[in-house]
């Protein structure tokens, strides 16, 4: 009986640690998102690539970036992919969408 109780304690402890590990990984993602929107990254992208807006969908793991000129699409994708990778957010999908903001 004593062995069964010790075994159950070990299993429950392992389960708790497994759940806690997922919570800690979520905190890393939250920190990465916070860094992404800290201002410096957006300001540089706005000047270089005509970025108008950025948005995250944490549920779907998607970063959407809207730019003003189609010619900067590839450079914008490369810039933000490098940033996502450096923030340990490689699993995030990246969407760069050129948007014409002129009124017709």
Per-residue pLDDT reduced to its tens digit, 74-85: 999 999 999 888
The beta-carbon contacts of 72-80 under 8 Å, at least 24 apart in sequence, are 72/48, 73/98, 75/48, 75/49, 76/45, 76/49, 76/51, 79/45, 79/48, 79/49, 80/45
Taking only the tens place, the pLDDT of each residue in 34-50 is 777 777 888 888 888 88
Integer Cα distance of 45 and 48 in angstroms: 5
Cα–Cα distance, 73 to 94 (Å, whole number): 11
Q: CA-to-CA distance for 68 and 13, rounded, in angstroms?
A: 52
Percent above pLDDT 90 for the chain: 18
pLDDT at 81: 92
């Amino acid at each position: 009986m004593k062995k069964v109780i010790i075994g159950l304690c070990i299993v429950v402890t392992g389960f708790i640690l497994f759940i806690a590990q997922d919570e800690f990984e979520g905190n890393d993602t939250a920190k990465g998102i916070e860094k992404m929107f800290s201002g410096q990254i957006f300001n540089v992208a706005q000047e270089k690539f005509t970025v108008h807006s950025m948005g995250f969908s944490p549920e779907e793991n998607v970063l959407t970036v809207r730019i003003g000129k189609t010619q900067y699409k590839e450079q914008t994708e490369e810039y933000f992919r490098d940033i996502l990778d450096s923030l340990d957010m490689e699993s995030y999908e990246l969407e760069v969408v050129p948007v014409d903001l002129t009124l017709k």
